[in-house]
A and B are shown apart, each in its own frame.
Chain A
Amino acid sequence: MFGLHKRLWAARPVKSSYDAVIIGGGLHGLATAYFLARDHNITNVAVIEKRFIGFGGSGRNTAIVRANQRTQENLPLYKEALDLWPELTRELDFNLMFHNCGNLNLAHSEAALKAMRLQVASAQFLGIDSRLLDPKECKEVVPALDISGRPRYPITGGMYHPPGGIVRHDAVVWGLAKGCSRRGVHIHQGTEVTGIGFEKGKVAWVDTDRGKIRTPRVLNAAGGYSAGIASRLMGLRLPISVLTIQAMVTQPLKPLLHHVVSSGAYHCYANQTLKGEIVTGAHMDPWPNFTTQTTAAYIKHQAEFVTEFLPCLKGAKFMRIWGGLADMTPDMAPIIDGHVPAEGCFLDCGWGYFGFKSSTVTGRYMARYMATGECPEILQPFALKRFQEHRLMGETAALVDYSANN
C-alpha cells in the first residue's frame, strides 16, 4: 500500500540556467519560491539545499506562531502571517495543523507588566487581539498555573493573545515543497552552493557541486548559514551572531495545557502537543557556535524553571532534546534587503528565533521584491542600512542580549 503514495515533490536534473536561484531549502526559501510561481508566474526557479529540505531551523523550531511582538514595523508582518495559515492549508491541500490555541505570556514583576501594557497597546492599535490579564484571569485561562506567592518570581499578570498558537512545522515544509513542485519549481536537495559569480556589478551565476547555474537573481535564505554565505560568497559581512538554541519534549501526558505559556523572567515556554508531550525551550548559550549541541546544564535549568509556574509537571520525564541555529541580530529584527552587494542579490536572514512564524508572509513579499525589483513597503524597515544609520529597532526588551558583541 505504500507504493500508492506519490512523492510530494519531484527530483529533477539541475539546469544550466534559472530565472531565480534560492539558497536554502528551508521555509523562507520554499515560501519565496512558491509565491514567485503563484503570484508572479516565475516558475523557472531552483531551490538549492545542501542537506534536505527542512533540515535546519524549519524542522527544529517549536512551532509557535504569534503576532504580539513589540514594534510597529514587526507587528503587521506577523499579523498577516497568522492569517495565512488557514489560507495555505486550503490552497496547498495539505493539513498544516494550525492549532489556534492562543498564547499566554506571564509577567513576574511590575516592570514586566508595564512593558506588556505597551506591547498590548501596540497590538490593539494595529487591530491584533492582545489583552492584559491579572493573575486570577491567568489562572482561569491556564488552571495548572501556580499564582500563589510560592514561586521565586510570583506571577503578577499576563499578556493573552488568542489568535496565536501552533502550526506543524514539517507539514509547512512538505506542503510548500509540494506546492512548489506542482508549479514547476525545481528543488535540488543534497546540493551545495560553492560560489556566486558577478558580471558588471550584477549577479550572474551560482556555482554548485552539481555544476554552474546562470541566473539574474539569487536569494540568500540559508538561515543559520546565511551570514557565512554572505561573507564568504557575497563579500558582505552582516551583524549576525549564530547561536545554538535548544528545546525538549517530555513524555506524553493527559491534556492539561491548552495554550502556549511563556515566561520572560524564567526564560522558558511550554505548550502541549496534540500527542500530549510538553514542548519546552528557549535557552541559548550566549557564544557563537554552529554545533547544535545540547547541554546537561540546560535540562536542569528547564526542569527547575518550568515547574516553578507549572508545578504539576514535577516528575514528568524528558524524552528528547535537540538544538538548532538562531542567527541573532543586535536588534532582534531580521535583515531583508535587495541589490546588496550587487544587483540581483537578495537577503532574507537574521531571523533569530522568529524565522518560523514569519516564513510564509516574508516569502510572499520577498517574491514580490524579486519579481518587481521594488521593495514592498512592509519590508523596507528591515534593510541592512539601518545599522549604519543607527536606526536599530526596539524589538528586544533588553532582558537578554544575543548580539554579536554581547
Chain B
Amino acid sequence: MAFTITCPICGPRSGYEFRYGGQDKGPRPDPAEMTPETWCDYVHMTDSCPGVQKEWWYHRAGCGIWFTIYRDTTTNLEVSPDSPEAVA
C-alpha cells in the first residue's frame, strides 16, 4: 500500500479512501475583527514546507468522520502527535 492513514474509528486504511482537507490552520478568524488579509490568509495560504504538518482528512469511502493527523510530507508517513516533530 502506497499510503496508509489511521482513521480514529476504522484504524489503518488505504490513503485512497480518504479526502485531504487542508493544513490545520486553527480556528476560523473572528468575523468582527476580520480584514481581507486575515481572511485571505485563512482561506488560501499554507506553509508548503517539506516536513511534518498537522492536517485534516475525511474518511470519504468509510465511516465519514473528519479528523486531524500529523504527516511528514517528505515520506507520506504519519507522525505520532506526541513526537517532537509534531508541531502544528
Contact = CB atoms under 8 A, between A and B. Distances in A.
A288 B45 contact: no
Interface stretch (B26-34, B71-79, B80-88): B71-79
Contacts of B20: 286-288, 406
A288 B73 contact: yes
B47 A289 contact: no
Contacts of A289: 73-74, 76
Contact of A237 (B19, B22, B41, B75): B41
A293 interface: yes
A289 to B, nearest CB: 5
Tell me whether chain A's interface is mostly helix, strand or loop, or mixed: loop
B72 to A, nearest CB: 9
B36 A227 contact: no
B45 A405 contact: no
Interface string B1-33: 011000000000001100111110000000000
Given A242-B48, A288-B73, A293 B40 contact: no
Interface string A279-318: 0000001111111010111000000000000000000000
Contacts of B46: 227, 237-241, 288, 404
A98 interface: no
A232 interface: yes
Nearest to A295: B2
Given A231-B48, A231-B49, A293 B76 contact: yes
Contacts of B74: 289-291
Interface of B: 2-3, 15-16, 19-23, 36-37, 40-41, 43-50, 53, 73-76
Given A240-B48, A404-B48, A405-B44, 16 more contacts: A225-B50, A230-B48, A231-B47, A237-B47, A237-B48, A285-B2, A285-B3, A285-B15, A286-B19, A289-B73, A290-B50, A293-B76, A330-B44, A404-B44, A405-B22, A405-B43
Interface of A: 225, 227-228, 230-232, 237-242, 285-291, 293, 295-297, 327, 330, 387-389, 404-406
